Structure formats: structure tokens, C-alpha cells
Amino acid sequence: MTDSDVRIAFNEHSGAIYRFSWRMTGSPSAAEDITQDVFLLLLRRPDQFDPRRGQLRPFLIGVARNLARKWLLRESRWNELDDEQLVAEPAEMEGRDLTESVGAAVSSLPATQREVLLLAHYGGFSLDEIARIVNIDVGAVKARLHRARQNLKRTLAPLWLCESRGG
């Protein structure tokens, strides 16, 4: 992969990588750093990407996911032990608009549930692709995604009622 290939890849995928990192960390500066590091890795070690093993975007998102995980661990915000948790921490909704409230609810999910939900809903990845990115089996992806969605259905229900009443 040449420098110009990396530039094409940057134009195609940097937005998706930034948005995933932003949603995962909740920090614009961390998302910038992660996006930068993903493409610096591609410039430095282009051999790390093997097209025979899959497409470029899942590979780049996988790198971003690992960097985001390291960032969250450093910030003590990676709650792996809560993977089985069915009820997310209650998110503070009062005084927030709809966008912020949905963001707060997703951010309050355990990190392992959150990453799977972000990859499925916002990234548009298939269960197989998510399994490869997160390095777990497809059954575990399904279970995490189900738990994440169940959590959100409950935490966001009061907000839906307010919105549908025009409140």
C-alpha cells in the first residue's frame, strides 16, 4: 500500500473511524488522536493489512477499537466485568435535549455492549464482521447486542413518551 493508497483510504474511512471513536470515548480529542494513529499505523506498517483476510474498513475500525479500548482502560472507563449486566447505569436525562439524552444512554452502557451496538447500528457491520473486529464469536456478539438493545429500550422509553406527546 503506497502513500497515495493511504490518502484514498483516509478520504474514504476517516469519517467513520472518527465517529466510532467519538461515540466510543465521548472525547473529541481522543477521537482525533485515535483516527490519526490508525492512519499513521497504515503508513508505517502497510503490511499489517492483508486484503485476503477481509476489507479495509473493518480492519481500520478494529485498530480504532483497540486504541479506544486502551484509552478507556487508561481512563478507568472500560467496565469489562459488567459485560453480562442487563441493566445499564441510569443516564442523567434531565435538562438535556433528545440527542444528548440518547448519547448519554448509549454512553452509560458497559463498554463491551456499547462497542457492539455502535458497530452494528452506526457502523452498519454484519454480525460476522463485528465478531472479527471484537475478536469474539458470533453468538457472543448476538448476546451483547441483545443486552445492549434491551438496556436502551428501557432507559430511553420515558424519553420516547415525552417526545411522542410533544413534550
Partner 1 sequence: MKSLNDEQLDRMLDCWVAPPAPHSIESRVFAPHIPWWKRFFSKISPGIASPTGRRRIRKKKGTV
Q: Taking the complex as a whole, how short is the minimal distance between the CB of residue 81 and partner 1, in angstroms?
A: 25
Distance (Å) of CA 92 to CA 26, 103, 106: 15, 11, 12
The residue among 68 and 106 lying less far from partner 1, judged by its C-beta, is: 106
Which residues are near partner 1 by CB under 8 A? 3, 7, 10, 14-15, 17-19, 22-23, 28, 31-33, 35-37, 39-40, 43-44, 98-99, 102-103, 106, 121-122, 149-150, 152-154, 156-161
Helix (H) or strand (E) holding 165: none
Q: What is the DSSP string of 76-137?
A: T---GGGGG-SSPPPP--TT--HHHHHHHHHHTS-HHHHHHHIIIIIT---HHHHHHHHTS-
The residue among 15 and 135 lying less far from partner 1, judged by its C-beta, is: 15
Q: Which of 9, 11, 18, 8 is nearest to 118 (CA)?
A: 18
With cell 456478539, the residue in question is: 141
Q: Taking the complex as a whole, how short is the minimal distance between the CB of residue 101 and partner 1, in angstroms?
A: 9
The residue among 3 and 80 lying less far from partner 1, judged by its C-beta, is: 3
Q: Taking the complex as a whole, how short is the minimal distance between the CB of residue 44 and partner 1, in angstroms?
A: 6
With cell 455502535, the residue in question is: 118
Q: Taking the complex as a whole, how short is the minimal distance between the CB of residue 141 and partner 1, in angstroms?
A: 17
C-alpha 59 chain-centroid distance: 14
User: Residue 72 is which amino acid?
Assistant: L
The residue among 138 and 162 lying less far from partner 1, judged by its C-beta, is: 162
**Would you state the cell numbers that stand for residue 138, as one nine-digit string?**
458470533
The residue among 24 and 141 lying less far from partner 1, judged by its C-beta, is: 24
Q: Taking the complex as a whole, how short is the minimal distance between the CB of residue 121 and partner 1, in angstroms?
A: 5
